[in-house]
Structure 1
Amino acid sequence: QQYIGLKPHPLRGLSSLPRSQEPSTEEALEDCSLLESIAGPEPLPVTTPLDQTSDPAHSLFAILPAGGGRERHVGDQLEALVLMNDFQGRPKSRGGDFLLARLHSPELGAGVAGQVLDYLNGTYSAIFPLLWEGSVWVEVTLVHPSEAVSLLRRLQEERLNWVPSKSLFRSGLLSETTECNLCLPNNQQPLCDYTDPRTGEPWFCYKPKQLACDTRINHFKAVFFLLFLLLLFFLFFIFFCGININVHIHATGSDSVTVVAAAPIRTPPLPSRTPPSGYYYQGSWRALDGVVIRQLDDPAAIIQCLKGKQVYMYGDSTVRQYYDYLTSFVPELKKFNIRSHVRAGPFMSVNIPNNILLKYRCHGPPIFWPPLSVSQLHYVANELDGLAGGSDTVVVISVSTHFSFFPLQAYIRRLRRIRRAVVRLLNRAPGTVVVVRSANLDQRKDNFINSDWILTQLDRVLKAMFRGLDVMLLDAWEMTLAHHLPHDLHPAPPIIKNMINTILSGVCPLSSRT
């Protein structure tokens, strides 16, 4: 099938960029760099025998001894070697398994995300910084075996129109419903083109048989295509109903070590490509970029921080959680009823005595929610272009999970438009505080649509695209991985509280830095 506005991507198996918005040479190079950086091993055959897939019960990890048999000190690094085997106990000869690692001390409420290195031969390293004294435990989880990752990669690259939206068209007593998407086959029936004239973001619907394109009144999620559901069903049951999905790998030997105070003369740590952004201690997030995280346990402290400020939140339901938390925790923020959609907004709260404005609006399509008026489908980049900005303005952006249904190019394109708008905003109002929230873990065993492997691709792309800009990158991925609570697409209140404290510590920083 031919898809309107699409052309082949130069990388194998990757589809689609809109002809109306051809990338510049610089953008095309960035696309290639981003996609190559997360490419991983070549996909495995779909027909891999079950007994040759990765089995956490036969796999193991071992904590490597400290150099010279010495004690482990705060400031050192700990490395665990992970050896993957199949269901017959045979060593795996290739990489690609999706592993997560965490170092934690339950009695201290402490935890930090580990960095997993794939040696592409069935062995992996999990590397952790040692940041506090006491007993620490290593936890390694097989989220998806490499065989599942291969299938997920195919789904991500090929599902152009498997997860459609729909729109209702109405004029007088006549109404019709048609399918809509970022791209649609152009050889089946006429299309209505709703590409945004300012951002160039594409959106199409099949033209109603009896109504004009300008009679579209709403947007809503549709039922997934049967083929897509069958593939997900197959993907779930081919791996023993979850026996090797989100399962801990056991240690050979001890899974814990004791960490003592920092040594007067420290041995240089092991090289780490990407240090963690922070860690939990006594249940509170501590950043490692020098920012002191304030513990705003009193609503009055939040009011004082936000005094005279306008806070704009744009994106999906994960950033709406921040709006809900603030309006619930701070009763002085009064909700203004603008009769908006209960999930999509827009929402607004005010505190007139302290001149505080708090607003939330969902991002433009694709977004898979119950019916929304087309008048409320606003793109984040356009919203940013409408802000004056300044030292009294805070912007929080979260755009990720609704793009897990599409090839990565669609997400890169959307982030690029938002990034340009952020740069324009900071150029005209340098004092504006901009917070960009990354994706976070979901980790439900039955959820291959928002698979953690797919979400980590979005997370890595977002961090790469906003790195180096004068924005605060809120690392929701690590803040959920490092915490002891179960992972959820909508993190639990204690994690949300830590995220709010981190954001407000950037908005109202303490005078001292550590």
Structure 2
Amino acid sequence: MYPDLVTPITFLQRPILAYTWILCMHFDCSQHPCLHRERSWLRKLFTGLCLLIVMCFLVIWSYMGNERKKSPPPSFLSQHCAERHDSSNSSSPAAVNSEVSVTYKSQSQSPINSFYSELGISSDSYSRLQQAVKWAEPDRSITNVSMSTSPAHTTFIIANLKDSYQIGEELLVLVHAKDFDNKSKSYGGDFFQAKLFWSKTKASVFGEVRDLLNGSYSVRFFLPWVGEAQVAVRLIHSSEAVQVLKRHRDTNSDRVYFNGYYEGPGPNKTRLSETMKCNVKWDKNGLERTGTGDCCCEYKDPRTGETWRCQRPKSLPCSALVYHSMGGYKNHLTNNDKMLMTQTNKGINGDKSIIKIFHHQNDTNDITEKCRPGLHTPVPAGFYLNDVWTSFVCSTRHFTTQTTTECLRDKHIYMMGDSTLRQWFEFFVKEVPTLKQMNLHVQYQSGPLLAVDVENNIDLHWRAHGVPLRCMKTAIANLHYISNEIDDLAGGPHTVIIFNLGPHFTTYPLEFFTQRVLRIRKAVLALLQRAPDTTVIIKTVNTGYKDIFGSDWYSLQLDRILRWAFQDVGVYILDVWQMTACHYNKEDIHPGPVIIKNEIDILLSFICKN
């Protein structure tokens, strides 16, 4: 790749060598009387030194060239791109806290592939992405399920427990993992979630879990309310179950498949129809099993470059594809896999002491930071008290029906994503009496949906993101890629764009999801360049899924990629991960009305900052 860097003497090297040789040959000791008698000896000495310098120069230059030629590009999202002791293995997506570096260097100066370089992603930024999704693995072969982490034997203690605390202090909890033989684990990789709560006051706050990579974990809690509290820790997946999830994502990405419905004219004025299996075109991770060669119809989007592929119908042409739907699930789990996955989302035993928290005169939870794009999401991002969420990100408000209407007045609001974002659309239609939903005669589950308020000049849109999408039978022409939708919007001070991405991508390779996200990032950057006063808000992933097709561990990794991609773009990131993980309601990918109302309050605080 760099032949001119490994030859003994190159065109660029010759002037340097010639200049060095001239210096050596023209050193004249006669100009220095004190050295005149040693002229011959010095000339030999300097000649030897010059030759030595030239030889060292050639060796170093050749070595550098060979190293650049030999160094392969890093494997995508390597789980071990750094030493294990550098891993944070945090249970929070907010563990991503470094900016995305943008570069315009040529591909020859970057070890990452051309796709990322063309989108302005530097090698350093790419490495931070790898670090963000790195996860510790068992340091030995797991030959028996009894070697995995046991929720019954794993325990937690409160470190240095005091009789009382003051609001604003921190509480440290230590988790000690053991296997089913009651033996202490010596490696990390378990996926825990923790919260501090008090049921009587409907109070709760998310705790950040840190993997110490030796079978122990620390949990840090901020004490945000006056009153009482207890600690709860759950084992979402053992480290061994996480490896099951990872292996099936890497080898069986086709375990969720879709149907493509072909329709067209037949003989004697009849209608023909055929249903074929479809999926993402991705020639690895198991997706290549869809077929090769002339097996399939391919539908490449001209703007994103993404290709959707369906098995070729027998009687109809590829152009006859009309509808799309969820197809089904393929369960590739072995018996051992199934046993490991049964120990999922289990509470662990530990210190049930009641934490007493008192007021501190000099401490307050009031947040004075105004809401603005680009703010970092801390852990915790806020807390519940009496079912009301107080944000630690910025100063948010709680909205009534009247103030909600006032906030949305003269706004064009475009929502793009999945059904968890559709819940926000449904909230507004129900909350604002003058906002009326139109009947567009489409499949409701995938949209597009539209509601208008003529009196207050509000139009509210929601549509599902493009394929892959697990949904009921819907017209495939209505499924648009988010990046294309954003490219088609003019933007401006009255435009609000809200999108999310995650649950429908849990079975796919991280690289596929990353490329989708970066295309959206490119579209958002272009939008903010032509209309910088456009409001762009990203809703993060909910917790809720716990199985092989949609685990929270999958969602956590996707959420980290999403945050990584948009940290430097100037958008609002609305963290719902912590809000859904720590609430007392049973976890559901579609959270209940209390959580949705609190999410909407933050959303409106982003839209209406004054």
TM-score category of the 2 structures, normalised to the smaller one? 0.7 to 0.9
Bigger mean CA deviation after superposition, 406-415 or 102-111: 102-111
Selected match of 1:142 from 206, 231, 235: 235
Question: What are the Cα deviations for residues 27-59 of structure 1, in whole angstroms up to 9, with x where unaligned?
Answer: 473444323322212357775312221112111
Cα shift at 1:304 = 1.1
* Amino acid in the other structure paired with 1:428: R
More deviation, 156-165/453-462: 156-165
Residue 130 (structure 1) aligns with:
223
**Residue pairs, 1:73-152, within 5 angstroms:** 73-152=166-245
Question: What secondary structure does 1:320 align onto?
Answer: helix
Where 1:217 maps in the other structure, the secondary structure is: strand
Following superposition, the deviation at residue 370 of structure 1 comes to: 1.4
Kindly tell me: are residues 44 and 337 of structure 1, through their superposed partners in 2, closer, same or farther at Cα, counting changes over 3 Å? farther
Give the aligned partner of residue 193 of structure 1.
Answer: 298
- Match of residue 168 from structure 1: 261
1:207 alignment counterpart: 312
| Aligned pairs for 1:301-320 within 5 A | 301-320=403-422
How far apart, CA to CA, are the structure 2 residues paired with 1:443 and 1:379? 24
Distance 1:364 1:487, change over 3 A: same
Given the alignment, which residue of 252, 275, 281 partners 2:385? 281
**Alignment equivalent of 1:259, drawn from 341, 353, 357:** 357
Q: Secondary structure of the residue that 2:383 maps to in structure 1?
A: strand
User: Is the alpha carbon distance of 1:10 and 1:112 closer, same or farther for their aligned partners in structure 2, counting shifts above 3 Å?
Assistant: closer
The code of the aligned residue for 1:63 comes to I
Alignment of 1:427-466 (within 5 A): 427-444=529-546, 447-466=547-566
Change beyond 3 A, Cα 1:420–1:43: farther
Q: Do 1:178 and 1:207's aligned partners in 2 also have CA atoms closer than 8 Å?
A: yes
After superposition, what is the alpha-carbon deviation per residue over 1:210-267, rounded to whole angstroms, capped at 9, x for unaligned? 3322111111111223xxx14177533345xx3x321111214x4431122226599x
**For residues 198 and 21 of structure 1, do their structure 2 counterparts lie closer, same or farther at Cα, with a shift above 3 Å needed?**
farther
Partner of 1:4: none
Distance 1:232 1:72, change over 3 A: farther
**Helix, strand or coil for the counterpart of 1:24?**
helix
Say if 1:255 and 1:70 are closer, same or farther in 2 by CA, change over 3 A.
Answer: closer
Partner amino acid, structure 2, of 1:190: C
Aligned partner of residue 165 in structure 1, secondary structure: strand
Measured in 1, the distance between the counterparts of 2:76 and 2:347 equals 38
Partner Cα separation in structure 2 for residue 138 and residue 13 of structure 1? 31
AA matched with 2:260: S
State how far apart, in whole Å, the 2-side matches of 1:106 and 1:461 are: 34
- Structure 2 counterpart of 1:157, one-letter code: D
The answer as to whether partners of 1:46 and 1:151 remain within 8 angstroms in 2 is no
Do the aligned partners of 2:79 and 2:135 also contact (CA within 8 Å) in 1? no
**Code of the aligned partner of 2:389:** W
Is 1:414 the counterpart of 2:516? The answer is yes
Deviation for aligned residue 1:13: 8.9
Q: Is the radius of gyration larger for structure 1 or structure 2? A: 2
Separation of aligned partners in 2, 1:312 and 1:255: 47
The reply to whether residue 295 of structure 1 matches residue 398 of structure 2 is yes
Query: If the length of structure 2 is used for normalisation, what is the TM-score?
Result: 0.74
Matched-pair contact (CA < 8 Å) for 1:189–1:206: no
Give, as a single letter, the amino acid of the residue that structure 2 aligns with 1:389.
G
User: Residues 466-505 of structure 1 correspond to what in structure 2 (within 5 A)?
Assistant: 466-505=566-605
Is the aligned partner of 1:180 residue 2:275?
no
Alpha-carbon distance between aligned partners in 1 of 2:389 and 2:379, rounded to the nearest angstrom = 15
Between 25-34 and 320-329, the greater mean CA deviation after superposition: 25-34
Mapped partners of 1:380, 1:475: distance in 2? 20
Q: 1:311 to 1:49 in 2, by over 3 A?
A: same
| Aligned match of 1:17 | none
Tell me if the contact between 2:167 and 2:363 (Cα under 8 Å) persists in the aligned partners.
Answer: no
Q: C-alpha deviations, 1:472-497, integer Å up to 9, x for none?
A: 11111011012111111111111011
Find 1:396's aligned residue among 481, 495, 498. 498
* C-alpha distance in structure 2 between counterparts of 1:411 and 1:392, whole Å: 30
Q: 1:12 to 1:505 in 2, by over 3 A?
A: closer
Separation in structure 1 between the aligned mates of residue 335 and residue 600 of structure 2, nearest angstrom = 37
Counting matched residue pairs gives 481
* 1:427 to partner: Cα distance: 1.6
Q: Once the 2 structures are TM-superposed, how far is the Cα of residue 468 of structure 1 from its aligned partner?
A: 2.8
Alpha carbons 2:541, 2:555 under 8 Å: kept = yes
Identity of aligned residues (%): 35
Distance 1:386 1:484, change over 3 A: same
> Aligned partner of 1:214: which letter?
S
User: Is it true that 1:39 corresponds to 2:134 in the alignment?
Assistant: yes
CA gap 1:106/1:473 in 2 versus in 1, 3 angstroms: same
Looking at structure 1, the residues matched to 451 and 394 of structure 2 have their Cα atoms a distance apart, in angstroms, of 32
* Contact 1:168–1:218 (8 Å) recurs in 2: yes
1:118/1:125 contact within 8 Å kept: yes
What is the rounded CA distance, in whole Å, between the counterparts of 2:458 and 2:277 in structure 1? 41
Q: Deviations over 1:437-495 (max 9, x none)?
A: 11111155xx3211111111112221222223221111110110121111111111110
Larger RCO (alpha carbons 8 Å, 6+ apart): 1
**8 Å contact kept, 1:433–1:507:** yes
In structure 2, what is the equivalent of residue 219 of structure 1? 324
Deviation at 1:201, TM superposition (A): 2.1
Cα distance change, pair 80–11 in 1 and its aligned pair in 2 (3 A): closer
Root-mean-square deviation (CA, aligned residues, Å) is 2.6
Match of 2:36 in 1: none
Quickly say closer, same or farther: Cα 1:10–1:415, change in 2 above 3 A: closer
Does the aligned pair in 2 maintain the 1:316–1:399 contact within 8 Å? yes
Task: Return the alpha-carbon distance in structure 1 between the equivalents of residues 395 and 362 of structure 2.
Answer: 25
Q: 1:218 to 1:233 in 2, by over 3 A?
A: farther
Question: Which residue, 452, 457, 464 being the options, matches 1:350?
Answer: 452
Secondary structure of 1:114's counterpart equals strand
State whether structure 2 residue 339 is matched by structure 1 residue 237.
yes
Q: Against the structure 1 CA distance between its residues 363 and 106, is the aligned structure 2 distance closer, same or farther, given a 3 Å change threshold? A: same
Paired residue secondary structure (1:199): coil
Are the aligned partners of 2:465 and 2:479 in contact in 1 as well (CA < 8 Å)?
A: yes
Is the contact made by 2:442 and 2:448 (CA closer than 8 Å) also made in structure 1? yes
Distance 1:307 1:21 in 2: 44
Structure 1 287/10 Cα, relative in aligned 2: closer, same or farther at 3 Å?
closer
**Any conservation in 2 of the 1:397–1:437 contact (CA below 8 Å)?**
yes
For the 8 Å contact 1:393–1:433, the answer to whether it is kept is: yes
In the alignment, residue 550 of structure 2 is paired with which amino acid?
Answer: N
Q: 1:334 Cα shift?
A: 0.6
Distance 1:230 1:237 in 2: 13
Q: Do the aligned residues in 2 keep the contact of 1:439 with 1:477 (CA within 8 Å)?
A: yes
Distance in 2 (alpha carbons) for counterparts of 1:483 and 1:10: 35
Q: 1:161 is paired with a residue of what secondary structure?
A: helix
Aligned partners of 1:136 and 1:256 also within 8 Å:
yes
Unaligned runs of 5+ in 1: 1-6, 15-19, 267-272
Separation (CA, whole Å) in 1 of partners of 2:138 and 2:306: 30
Superposed displacement of residue 281, structure 1: 2.0
